[in-house]
Structure 1
Amino acid sequence: MDNKIKYAIIAVVVIIIAIIAASSMLGNSSDNDPTHIVLTVPGHTGEPETGFNPLTGWGNGHLNFNPLVQSTLFGSDENGSFVNDLATDYSISDDRLKWTVHIRDDVKFTNNETLKASDVAFTFNEAKVSDGELDLTNLKEAKAIDDKTVEFTLEKPQSTFIYDLRYVGIVPEKDYNNETYGANPIGSGPYKLKQWDKGQQAIFEYNENYYGKEPYFKQITMVFPEEDNVLQLVKSGEIDVAEVPISAYNETVDGYNLVEFQSPRAQGFSLPYLPDTGLKTADAGSPIGNNVTSDPAIRKALNIGINREEIVKSVYKGFGKAEYTGVDSLPFANEQAKVTDNQPDEAKKILE
């Protein structure tokens, strides 16, 4: 008798037009150990191309993301508030250019080496010049003062630097190689990489050296399927948790329950504000401007002409709610910034 509980989850994602529901299904894989979980990793997170290397993008830019293998200076609690992880406290100089962080002295990497402030300094200095997603151009230098103290010097004051300290997973200076680390990561987080079948799955197992609270799940298997194959994996019983594409929102699978979570994250599309002057992007050679969308009237007409509620109903099958500013559900939302949409006649007047 399988002792795992099956679930189906709808993870609600906010977009500018609507809050979408991304269906996820939690179910039972062939592994009946309740402390083992198998899940699909959706396209918006996806399999990291360079492996599980925080200096090249693993975990960067996701406030509540846990890089699993690595520890970060700060973490996030269930409410999204910052909490200490490796850090025990921090201070900022009067001129706001120096951030001093004190770290724990009881942390070991999975190679059994003690994590020191020099590893933290190395990580941030390396991340600054690595081809990663995080912009650390304002970091002038990170320097270890002693084994438990690291000092960050900024080019100019930056109140949001705490986010940078939150995102970057710490790597060991002694054993770091930018070319090989992603496939064989050494870290001090709650898990270590057991196996990576590139393009298919990655298996993480509990790190016995971990200094924090022992997690319930002792093994996490991330599966990286094509979107069209997710529902079939669920039906086969090979997956415990799967985010299902929009096309499957109204599907039912025996033994699975549908659970809905709401996310405050806004997703949407933006239109070029600049006219096409011939400038192109350096990488793909795409035009930087657009002579149609650079006209404010076009953007204003679109904003009030579309029917967000109808999009929620027809495209997202009712799993969501309209979003008007991108931050409607956040504490700093401004009701006065919302527009009244579904006004095609008013939109036409703007375009006259």
Structure 2
Amino acid sequence: MSRRSTALAGLVTVAALTLAACSGPGSTTAAPTAQTRAEDELVLAVGDVGEGEFDPLRGWGNHQEHKVLHSSLVQWHRNAESGEMELVGDLAKDFSHEGVVWTFHLREDFKFSDGEPVTAADVVFTYDLLKEDGTQFDLGNVAEVRAVDEHTVEIELVQPDSLFGPQAATIAILPEHAYGEGYSQNPIASGPYRVVEYQDGEQLIMEANPYYPEELAYRKLTFYLADEEAALSAAQAGTIDVAKVSYTNADRQFEGMTLEQLESVETMAITLPTEPAGGTAETMGIEGSGGNDVTSDPAVRTALSLGVDRRELNDIVVAGYGEPAYSVADTLPWGTEDVRFADADPEGARRLLADAGWSDTNGDGTVDKDGVEAVVGLMYTTGDPARADLAESFAAQAAELGIRFEPEGATWDDIYAEGKSKAVVFALGSLSPKELWDTYSSESIGVSYNNMPNYSDPEVDGHLRRARLADTLGESIPHWQAAQVAGASSHPETGDVSMLWILRRDHLYFINDRVDIGEQITHGHGHGMQIFQNVTQWR
């Protein structure tokens, strides 16, 4: 496994480093140091913690980041005996469903951070609010949410949906009595901690919810909201207990801290348009051109999947802190080993292209066919260095096959306008097979930024529909797997390669040796707050 390091520029002098408490303009209160902070207090630097502003109506919970502040009806848990991921109750002490009706019996010992009990009415309020909004959480298949009594909720679906259970694990329950405009400035928590002070871009302080029914080893969490360089300077000074770190800095050494390499299904891929150029397409309400005359040829997509060296890309792009990827479901119960294959076969890829009529007729190193040069724009967002590295490294490998990708940094609006006609570096991955539906179902075309390649295959669609209509998540798994074998993968023999899966990147944190973060469950897309999914196990 290779490692890269990049020198940090402009480091703050360790002796002068303090973390301002940011209680207001002119504040001189210093954040706790290793010598002054209590045993039950942690100082953390895990990036932007308020991206969803603590409100599911703004997307809070989409990446499982809500668990530090809010509880859901259910949650993911790693079975101690089997090691498998499973859904268990959170606010619900038990749950079941018969047909389209799900029943949740709520624990009676859960209270919001203002002391009010969490009731069935709060669940109804939350789900109705998000269903009416319809943007952050797709609850279009929910027909009705009703409170049977104070601690019993029934959720009736329009039709069976095996994805509802995983979705319920992402929805933070809000207080009906205290929700309104300005909720983000004073969020009332249904989970283990509550916000006591928040200065955007500076500092966030949370304290244990005094009414939370589970034991918490740490009563106070101070979040240092700074960029990685400043956070690592603080770690060097001994003022940080948990620090998110990127791959470029993972080989650094800090006294009293150990690097934790946590498994993630955050999967990086290259989208490849499957339709010929000439059409129009809409993404996130932005209309643009659609299709590409190079990538619409299945031979081009297949050759790329066969020819690229995923292990090398993993080592270059994330310094080896990850694994080659063959689907968006690798390591998850609905994934399948049948999508794995031996890649890094450039000779085989070149033969495949030649057999399909692609050859370098003008000697410029790029193959062409019927007057079309194999030149493709490759868009990536500039805020993530790994995406830029993948774009450049992938383009270099593809050039060896005779296919020229031209990387270009872009905004998301640029990608929404042009991403249906160019390749795009994407990152996906969650603890739900909905990623397979969003990526490969023809019903996902034009929905949000899903199915960017406009991929459609009737056989795959059939498997995906059967998977969603299965009575339980367990019963749906063979159908999700069958969809991948039928074409929803990057396999050069059975896959349609609309998404060229490249690598799964791990989530990295430096952890103080005095802190035990417990048995972490697999992380999804979103490096940072997901580390709190098991916070009740922290010691």
TM-score range with shorter-chain normalisation?
0.7 to 0.9
Structure 1's 242 and 327: CA in aligned 2 closer, same or farther, altered over 3 A? same
- Which residue type is aligned with residue 243 of structure 1? K
Which residue identity does 2:201 align to in structure 1?
Answer: G
Q: Separation in 1 of the partners of 2:125 and 2:187?
A: 16
- Which amino acid counterpart does residue 344 of structure 2 have in structure 1? N
| In the alignment, structure 1 residue 175 sits paired with structure 2 residue 209 | no
Deviation at 1:133, TM superposition (A): 2.6
Report the 3-state secondary structure (helix = DSSP H, G, I; strand = E; otherwise coil) of the residue aligned with 1:92. Answer: strand
Give the partner amino acid of 2:143: K
SS at match of 2:283: coil
Q: Is the 8 A contact 2:198 2:204 kept in 1?
A: yes
**Superposition deviation, residue 125 in structure 1:** 0.5
Distance 1:52 1:254, change over 3 A: same
Q: Is the 8 A contact 1:73 1:166 kept in 2?
A: yes
**SS of corresponding position for 1:268:** strand
Q: Which residue identity does 2:94 align to in structure 1?
A: D
Counterpart in the other structure of 2:39: 34
One of 126, 133, 144 as aligned partner of 1:130: 133
- 1:212-256 per-residue CA deviation (whole Å, 9 max, x = no partner) reads x21111112233333454433332433221122222132223443
Alignment of 1:117 onto 2:107: no
- The range that moved more, 228-237 or 50-59, is 228-237
Asked if 1:239 is matched to 2:240, the reply is yes
The answer (yes or no) to whether the contact 1:38–1:222 under 8 Å persists in 2 is yes
Q: Which structure's CA Rg is the greater one?
A: 2
1:36, 1:218 within 8 Å by CA — same for their partners in 2? yes
What is the deviation of 1:176? Answer: 1.0
Determine if the alignment matches structure 1 residue 70 to structure 2 residue 70.
yes
Tell whether 2:221 aligns with 1:220.
yes
Q: 1:345 to 1:241 in 2, by over 3 A?
A: same
Pair 1:195 & 2:197 matched: yes
Partner of residue 527, structure 2: none
1:257 maps to which residue?
258
Instruction: Please report how far the alpha carbon of residue 57 of structure 1 lies from its aligned counterpart in structure 2 after TM superposition.
Output: 1.5
> Partners in 2 of 1:48 and 1:105 — Cα distance?
29
| Cα distance, 1:285 vs structure 2 | 4.1
Q: 2:151 aligns with which of 142, 148, 153?
A: 148
Q: How many residues align?
A: 319
Q: Extract structure 1 runs of 4+ deviating beyond 4 A.
A: 28-31
SS in 1 for 2:161: coil
Question: Percentage identity across aligned positions?
Answer: 34
Partner of residue 88, structure 2: 83
User: Does the 8 Å CA contact 2:92/2:104 hold for their aligned counterparts?
Assistant: yes
Contact 2:280–2:287 under 8 Å retained in 1:
no
Could you tell me how far apart the structure 1 residues matched to 2:87 and 2:155 are? 18
Rounded to whole Å, the distance in 2 between the matches of 1:333 and 1:120 is 32
Cα deviation, 1:243-279, whole Å, max 9, x if unaligned, reads: 2222213222344333333334434333333334122
Query: Using the alignment, how far apart are the partners of 2:290 and 2:68 within structure 1?
Result: 38
Q: Structure 1 residues 321, 187: CA separation in 2 closer, same or farther (over 3 Å shift)?
A: closer
Please, which runs of 5 or more residues in structure 1 have no aligned partner? 1-11, 13-17, 21-27
* 1:108 matches 2:89: no
Q: 1:54 aligns with which of 53, 56, 59?
A: 56
Question: Unpaired runs of 5+ in structure 2?
Answer: 5-32, 80-84, 355-539
Shift of residue 107, structure 1, vs aligned partner: 2.5
Alpha-carbon distance change, 37 to 101 in structure 1, aligned in 2, over 3 angstroms: same
Secondary structure of 1:280's match? strand
- C-alpha contact (below 8 Å) 2:89/2:95 kept by paired residues: no
2:530 aligned partner: none
- Tell me the C-alpha RMSD between the 2 structures: 2.7
CA distance in 2, matches of 1:124, 1:257: 41
Q: Deviations over 1:116-144 (max 9, x none)?
A: 21111111010112365321111122111
The equivalent of 2:339 in structure 1 is 337
Q: Distance in 2 between matches of 1:154 and 1:273?
A: 34
Tell me whether 1:162 sits opposite 2:188 in the alignment: no
* Matched-pair contact (CA < 8 Å) for 1:120–1:150: yes
Q: Distance in 1 between matches of 2:35 and 2:53?
A: 26
Larger fraction in helix: 2
What does the per-residue CA deviation read over 1:26-63, in whole Å, with 9 as the maximum and x for residues that have no partner?
xx756522221122224xxx33344111232212243x
State how far apart, in whole Å, the 1-side matches of 2:288 and 2:51 are: 23
